[in-house]
Structure 1
Amino acid sequence: MDTQRIFNPRIFSGVLAFAMLGGLCSSCATMEADRARDTEQLLAAAGFKVKPADTPEKLAHVKSLTQHKLVPHEKDGTVYYVYADATTCRCVYWGPEEAYQRYQRLATQQRIAEDQRMAAEMNEDAAMNWELWGPGYWWAY
């Protein structure tokens, strides 16, 4: 039997590249879904109302809106902020200016808390006394 027919390096490298690309794409999709979920939790905490796209017509309308961004829309002289998500929750969040201001404050507080957490981790890493553990990487395994 011909070993070239069993294992073709070109085909193998192509399949491997395709698999790696698929893994990267699914990783990006997961990160986007996590980000959407975090945003939607902040919107709910800020007082935004959620309306599910529970019919095909509503889902089609949600898909036609700007996705994963707060967009101002005017209705009867009042500005409402709308956040459409056709993929994660299949819904629309909407709220008035007051809810938008609360959302902005909560998002800022969350960013500050995350920055503080990262700074604390960096300080903890900087405080590590590597010389105490001797040379080499043997202790890390």
Structure 2
Amino acid sequence: MFLAMLAACAPYGQIRKSEDDLALAGFTAHYANTTARWQLMNLLPANRMAYRMNGTNAVLLYADPLTCGCVYMGNRMAYAAWVSAHHGTPLQERQMTAEINQHPGWDWSVWSPDADPPEVRALHGLPSHGVAGY
């Protein structure tokens, strides 16, 4: 019985380690705590690196819909640290490019705390208006 339970938890343990690695590399978790964020998170490949452009800057994204219900976001420096720890390959880079070509749209405004309804902002201890950033 115990082994069956342990086997059932094993996939989540690997995902949890990936999340720890992302945080150590400099990625920040942004919770999909609104309908719009949840919809965008689900456009990303689950538990795989992707990116979206924010102006002329690529923001690297790692969606985790099951464990944390969040999207980890990082810059190129965070991505480089993550790749060096995970021995990234040119194939992964090509997969990210193919994925963004399939789903080019991304609405950064929904990741702004200003986009949250007042109830969500209150849950995070944020003022009910005037908060900038994503």
- State the TM bucket, normalised to the shorter chain: 0.5 to 0.7
The DSSP-based 3-state class of the residue aligned with 2:42 is helix
What residue in structure 1 maps to residue 70 of structure 2?
A: 91
The 3 A distance-change label for structure 1 pair 26 and 70 is farther
Q: Is residue 67 of structure 1 aligned with residue 46 of structure 2?
A: yes
* Unaligned stretches of 5+ residues in structure 2: 88-134
1:9-88 superposed matches below 5 A = 30-88=9-67
The structure with the larger Rg is 1
Q: Give the paired residue count.
A: 86
Kept in 2, the 8 Å contact 1:73–1:81? The answer is: yes
Aligned-CA RMSD value: 2.4
The 3 A distance-change label for structure 1 pair 40 and 96 is same
Kept in 1, the 8 Å contact 2:29–2:71? The answer is: yes
Q: Percent identity?
A: 26
- 4+ runs deviating over 6 angstroms: 25-28
Kept in 2, the 8 Å contact 1:42–1:107? The answer is: no
1:6-56, Cα deviation, whole Å (9 max, x unpaired): xxxxxxxxxxxxxxxxxxx97665222111111100000011111011123
Q: Which deviates more, 77-86 or 99-108?
A: 99-108
Instruction: Answer 1 or 2: which has greater helix percent.
Output: 1
The DSSP-based 3-state class of the residue aligned with 1:74 is strand
The 3 A distance-change label for structure 1 pair 85 and 29 is farther
- Alpha-carbon separation, structure 2, partners of 1:49 and 1:36: 16
Q: Is residue 102 of structure 1 aligned with residue 81 of structure 2?
A: yes
1:51-107, Cα deviation, whole Å (9 max, x unpaired): 011123322321222100011221101111100011111000011110001112233
What residue in structure 2 maps to residue 118 of structure 1?
A: none
Kept in 2, the 8 Å contact 1:48–1:99? The answer is: yes
- Alpha-carbon separation, structure 2, partners of 1:94 and 1:58: 13
- Alpha-carbon separation, structure 2, partners of 1:34 and 1:47: 20
- Alpha-carbon separation, structure 2, partners of 1:26 and 1:90: 23
